[in-house]
Amino acid sequence: MTDFKELIANELYDESLGLEIDEIKGMIEIPADESMGDFAFPCFRLAKALRKAPQQIAADIAASAGGNKAFAKVENVNAYVNFFIDRAYFESEVINEVRTKGASYGKSEVGAGKKVIVEYSSPNIAKPFHIGHIRSTVIGNALYKLYDACGYDTFRINYLGDYGTQFGKMIVAYRKWGSEDELKEEPIKALLGYYTRFHKEAENDPSLEDQARETFAKLEAGSPEETELWKKFRELSLAEFNRVYGMLGIEFDSYNGESFYSDKMPRFIQELKDKKLLVESQGAQIVDLEEYDLGAAMITKSDGSSLYVTRDIAAAVYRKENYNFYKCIYVVASQQNLHFKQWKKVLELMGYAWEEDCVHVPFGLVSLSDGDDIKTMSTREGQVVFLEDVLNTAVSKTADIMREKNVQGVNVDEVSKEVGIGAVIFQELSNNRIKDYVFSWDKVLNFDGETGPYVQYTHARASSVLRNADEADLAAIAEGNINASYLASDSAYALCKLIYRLPEIVIEAADKYEPSMVTRHLVDIAQAFNKFYHDEHILVDDEEERRAKLSLVAVSKTVIANCLALLGISAPERM
């Protein structure tokens, strides 16, 4: 497809301007006011080289440009040269590009040959997979899909929280109050109960905390009994987690958690000692980062057990040595900002220059509609909202809505899963990731607002139009036999412009680690399609006009499905 900015840059290029084509292309703008054209070139920078007023330069350029068939007209307004693209030419280009590329439209090869690791979700073993986990899980999956769409060699890691003193607590609690039958029946809820009871009992019996530390020290030393229990907790937890991942349609390439690096940490503790970075502090080993306003990074506790920073150093070096990543992305809540700053600084002090390629992508908190901050829900007290329960509730509520609307010709059970779960994902990704947001059922399942169900319904609407077309028309548009001059309306042109911008949006969203850019653009496309649908009579008598309009419906359907796929959401044919 024609890169119109590049086309304009080539039209404008002249050695006397003192600018290379890429520089000119970078200066080209898209006017906020459509009456000022589709693209605009500001001439202020040219005044010095050409020794003329910017307004005169713009007038001269406008007078000499415009011979290309892609331009309907070229004119200047003050110091800007405004380019108006020929609508039929533009729409034909867009429709043919989407028709040819199909499911690949929006993808690129900008990252070809570069390895990107995305670490996300990372729940704690033996603890509930709760609603607060949705942010890392869904944002991370969308980033993986965005980088994959940009041609990068992507690798998904679920860095499970399967190590630490919490497992000493869990093992102590299970031995004191647990049962095998209870654990088999409802593993996570049983383990949560043990963990909750441990902290209540520890308030009256502080010796339990010492027992937990001793038990974890045994686990870290490889004690067979502790290791066997830990493995059982891990396997039971993974089975529970994978059921939720299956509902979300999410997979991983690696489940190597913190425990995977337990035998790799001594190398780096020794390296820190050799480089004279370790300092003893009350029996613990730390890296003093006070001069960088980062406090102290604790490497080992006074009992010799490891901490997050130590394991994360080992994990980062392992990934660099084994995958030689171009970029390693960590999708972790903003509450861990200090941890990541400390960890990256320690890597830098150790001499690992590639630490700059390790990127922390933080996100804000999700809270319930009653205002209770999910962050304050404590697994110690058993106050959690299970993510699986939220997803099942979304499916159930969607099915109720569909039955109330008396939807015909669809498998309600199947579609309610696609729409209900898609609605939860879309709600999460419609928000700028760094902002806190409130989870609200009324907003999530609204079929009329800027929501997942609205976009999915738009896809189903486009599918319905195409089902009502005859086979000869569908065959003609599949071959590209259309006359775009029949797409003369403002609504058709506005829709095509949004479709044209999708590949650029995908690249920008990946670069900024911001899936919500795709979500917002998708809503704009859906709204533009619905305006076109309402403004135009599509299945008209005139064959050429009908086929032109059906072509735009077909490519809109493709692009909406492609965007939903980038977000990890299904695109139902019927709703």
Return the structure tokens found at 493: 């042109």
The SS3 of residue 161 is strand
Could you tell me the two tokens for 116? 């990107």
Q: How far is CA 297 from CA 25, 220, 334, 338, 355, in A?
A: 46, 21, 18, 10, 16
Q: Which CATH superfamily is domain 4-85 in?
A: Arginyl tRNA synthetase N-terminal domain (3.30.1360.70)
Residue 381, pLDDT > 70, answer: no
* Residues contacting residue 48 through CB under 8 Å, at least 6 positions apart: none
Are 195 and 379 contacting, i.e. CB atoms less than 8 angstroms apart?
yes
Query: Does residue 374 surpass a pLDDT of 80?
Result: no
Q: Which of 133, 320, 497, 549 is catalytic?
A: 133
512 is known as an active-site residue? no
Model confidence at 77, pLDDT cuts 50, 70, 90, reads very high
Please give the pLDDT value at position 441.
83
CA 152/CA 149 separation, integer angstroms: 7
d(CA 148, CA 507): 11
Catalytic residue among 127, 320, 497, 521: 127
What DSSP string describes 16-42?
GGT--HHHHHHH-B--SSGGG-SEEEE
Instruction: Write the pLDDT tens digit of every residue in 84-107.
Output: 999 999 999 999 999 999 999 999
Contact partners, residue 142, CB within 8 Å, separation at least 6: 429, 515, 518, 566, 567, 568
pLDDT for residue 376 = 41
d(CA 164, CA 311): 10
Helical pair 308-323 and 337-349, crossing angle rounded to 10 deg = 60
- Catalytic residue of the set 5, 25, 107, 130: 130
Q: Is the pLDDT of residue 484 over 80?
A: yes
Active site residue 459: no
pLDDT-derived band of residue 217, with 50, 70 and 90 as boundaries?
Answer: confident
Q: How does residue 370 score in pLDDT terms, banded at 50, 70 and 90?
A: low
71-77 vs 80-85, strand pairing mode = antiparallel
pLDDT of residue 383: 52
Percentage above 90 pLDDT, the chain = 79
Instruction: Dump the DSSP string for 316-372.
Output: HHHHHHHH--SEEEEE--GGGHHHHHHHHHHHHHTT-GGGGGEEEE----EEETTS-
Give me 219's structure tokens: 């686990």
Nearest alpha carbon to residue 574 among 445, 456, 455: 456
DSSP string, 275-325: TT-EEEETTEEEEE-GGGT--EEEEE-TTS-B-HHHHHHHHHHHHHHHH--
Measured CA to CA, the distance from residue 309 to residue 298 in angstroms comes to 7
pLDDT tens per residue across span 159-212: 999 988 889 999 999 999 999 999 988 888 899 899 999 999 999 999 999 999
pLDDT at 175: 95
- The candidate with the shortest Cα–Cα distance to 310, out of 291, 285, 276, is 285
Q: Which residue has the tokens 């700028």?
A: 432
Q: To the nearest 5 percent, what fractions of the chain are helix, strand and coil?
A: 60, 10, 30
Using the predicted structure, report yes or no on whether residue 502 has a pLDDT greater than 70.
yes
Per-residue pLDDT, averaged over 494-499, amounts to 97
pLDDT exceeds cutoff 60 at 372:
no
Q: Is 521 annotated as catalytic? A: no
- pLDDT, one tens digit per residue, over 22-65 is 999 999 999 999 899 999 999 999 998 899 999 999 999 999 88
Pairing status of strand 366-368 against strand 437-439: parallel
Supply the pLDDT for residue 373.
43
417-463 pLDDT, tens digit per residue, is: 999 999 999 999 999 999 988 888 888 888 888 999 999 999 999 99
Q: What is the pLDDT of residue 288?
A: 96
Tens-digit pLDDT profile for residues 526-552: 999 999 999 999 999 999 999 999 999
Average pLDDT taken over every residue of the chain: 93
